[in-house]
Amino acid sequence: MPITLDSKKQWLSGVRRLPSPNCDERPAGCDVALVVMHGISLPPQCYGGPHIDQLFTNTLDPNVHPYFAEIADLRVSTHVLVDRQGEITQYVPFDARAWHAGRSAFQGRTCCNDFSIGIELEGCDDRAYEPVQYDVAARLVKLLMLHWPEIGKNSVVGHSDIAPGRKTDPGEAFDWEYFYSLLE
């Protein structure tokens, strides 16, 4: 199924939508110029279940898993998640600032949330991502490149690239060479 974007460049069509309260307006005059690829699994190294949705909607129960007690109070989000089956969930409209990058810098610009789109892949640093995730994420990034011409292949990076030493995702298991080949 083709991935399309509405005329206001806010929401994808034909995907699951679960709005997150963890977003705000982008600064005036700040155009999207970066895509940040992330990896997430909750609990760590476990796939499926409602926990990623709960994290991004501030409903994660800290009593369900010991790790959740550490993160339940975080107020974070992403624009989209691509799960292990290649299904997309959109949490934040693309014209809004999602809270995915934290302290970050790219090519001398700080506060990457201001000018980026965050894509989470359900996965972890040291386990292979699914082929369908690469395919869906590449189709999504190509669509974003059409709508935001400042996004080029060199401005599709990992969280680890914009927050080195603090973040490691999407990790060594993410095949950047293969992913970039899908963007051509």
Query: Which positions are catalytic?
Result: 120
Burial of residue 183 (number of CB atoms within 10 Å: 0-12, 13-18, 19+): middle
> CA 155 to CA 34: how far, in whole Å?
5
Q: What is the distance between the alpha carbons of residues 158 and 28, in angstroms, rounded to a whole number?
A: 25
- Asked if residues 130 and 86 have their Cβ atoms less than 8 Å apart, the reply is yes
Cβ 82 vs Cβ 91: under 8 Å:
no
Helices vs strands, H then E, count in the chain? 5, 12
